[in-house]
Structure 1
């Protein structure tokens, strides 16, 4: 583990501690998800070679936090999302520690490209219970996501493994003048309206705007009310049925990945 990664991990943990204090004060629910939850279960903290942190909140709690309570965070923590910043590249919200600058690895060739150390917060949204409607919903969301990526072609992760069809789509899309035809920010609002109108008591729910897209939709019961898990010497909440969630996401989740896979998990570098 490099010292930079460990420094990022500790800053992220401090951000989460401050966020959770606010969430707990107002009885808002949240869950560690993805690699953050995997780290909690397998390592009782960060995955040693990972440098980002993800939590998710039920849509109602997510909106309440952003609209009413995020202002209670310490002054060095800032909320960044597509509603507060028209140039913001993602749908999800980031809570940034403005004391520390980083560069995303995927953007290292973009001049003057930097961000701040941050954690990601995803809304948990329902999906249609009807299987056909659910697949159509997936198609709509993923189409908007793909279009945003092509409009913001400099932000595409070129190192990510993709199918031949994805590679062809990226090649064609990045050679079209899509920036003249579409606004990424307006497309983000279209996604927002689509996600927000989904039933919040549906059988399946999840964080479709995450890196794993549709795979992040799971039976809602996996989340439950949540339970506390050890993480870097603290206790943070995760899904009630962590085992079912992690098996769905990663299969044999206690098995360590190869050295090559570990190297690919680095997202940021301190500048």
Structure 2
């Protein structure tokens, strides 16, 4: 494993079984890299007085497992758009190699709609998809944007945001996120990619910018609810009052910030029964992780991953 700024206790890397699920030493090493990234992220946020909270599986893991959900492979955080922008501004001078905050306003290559803090000395590649951008192991930081209090305006804000996101990703899968199709559709998809990729990149960027603009139109207003627009199909509406004060909860061998209204936030994402463990596949597809080798070496060697 690469050298970490915040190394884990030696016993943490041992294989173990949690909730009937075996976590290998290799996955523990991935977790250790992510926990290292989280500690560096929290250091910078504390220095600049930026409010940040665990969200999604990280929040669920903190409140239900005091650590990672056994079958999870990433960490997620959330912050207001205002603090998110400050984090992106200070990132170049705060995060030194191998740390790298990856964020894109143009949408010409990256269509995440969120920032990723990566360890550039490691690798996290999507199987069968080859990208040229930084693909070190990462943790996600999502911006939280206000929703209108008027039901009709909120409806159209969410619908338009969801439409622009769908169009962004649709064009991306034929251009910057292109990967070969299977079977009979392989050849026509390849032809479309070759002929129209430059146009699709422009359309991808166009709708990405529209998505980020529609998500922020009520951020100057004091509203009751908010949403993470990049994943409009994943998250229900959050209540801004739930993100008032912060508490720190155990998460493996560190502590993560949790919002005061964590129960309602978790119910919005996972339902009333969030306290009951239920093994589900992660939503990140099949990944190749390497905690010893930089993604640059994979790109340099032009390794075909299958």
Q: What is the match of residue 265 of structure 2?
A: 245
Going from structure 1 to structure 2, the CA distance change for 1:134 and 1:102 (only over 3 Å counts) comes to: same
| Alignment match, 1:161 | none
Equivalent in the alignment of 1:190: 210
Distance change in 2, residues 1:97/1:66 (3 Å):
same
The answer to whether the Cα contact below 8 Å between 1:222 and 1:239 also exists between their aligned partners in 2 is: yes
Task: Please name the residue that 2:3 is paired with.
Answer: none
Q: Please, which of 35, 45, 58 is the counterpart of residue 23 of structure 1? A: 45
SS at match of 2:208: helix
- 2:55 pairs with 1:36: no
Q: Which residue of 2 aligns with 1:270?
A: 289
Instruction: Map residues 109-258 of structure 1 onto 2, 5 A cutoff.
Output: 109-111=128-130, 115-153=135-173, 155=177, 179=197, 180=199, 182-199=202-219, 201-210=222-231, 212-213=233-234, 215-251=235-271, 252-258=273-279
Q: In structure 1, what is the Cα distance between the partners aligned to 2:213 and 2:228?
A: 15
SS at match of 1:124: strand
Structure 2 residue runs of 5 or longer lacking an equivalent are 1-22, 180-191, 291-306
TM-score (norm 2): 0.73
CA RMSD of aligned residues (A): 2.8
Residue 14 of structure 2 corresponds to which residue in structure 1? none
Distance 1:100 1:25, change over 3 A: same
**CA positional deviation for 1:101:** 1.0
Unaligned runs of 5+ in 1: 158-174
CA-CA distance at 1:266 after TM superposition: 6.3
> 2:215–2:229: 8 Å Cα contact kept in structure 1?
no
Q: CA deviation at 1:224?
A: 1.7
Alpha carbons of 1:74 and 1:148: their partners in 2 closer, same or farther (altered >3 Å)?
same
Partner Cα separation in structure 2 for residue 216 and residue 239 of structure 1: 16
Q: Distance in 2 between matches of 1:148 and 1:45?
A: 34
Listed one character per residue, the Cα deviations across residues 247-271 of structure 1 (whole Å, up to 9, x for unaligned) are: 221121121214xx24767653214
Q: 1:95: Cα distance to partner? A: 0.8
Q: Which entry has the higher C-alpha Rg, 1 or 2? A: 2
Q: How many residues align?
A: 250
Deviations 1:198-239 (CA, angstroms, capped at 9, x unpaired): 2352100132323744x3421112222222111112222111
User: How has the CA–CA distance of structure 1 residues 67 and 75 changed in structure 2, closer, same or farther, with 3 Å as cutoff?
Assistant: same
3-state SS, counterpart of residue 148 of structure 2: coil
Against the structure 1 CA distance between its residues 265 and 145, is the aligned structure 2 distance closer, same or farther, given a 3 Å change threshold?
A: closer
Per the TM alignment, residue 52 of structure 1 is displaced from its structure 2 partner at its CA by: 0.9
Query: Can you list the C-alpha shifts for 1:167-195, whole angstroms capped at 9, x where unaligned?
Result: xxxxxxxx898753543223222222222
What pairs up with 1:48-127 in 2 under 5 angstroms?
A: 48-83=70-105, 86-104=108-126, 108-111=127-130, 115-127=135-147
Which one is further off, 223-232 or 18-27?
223-232
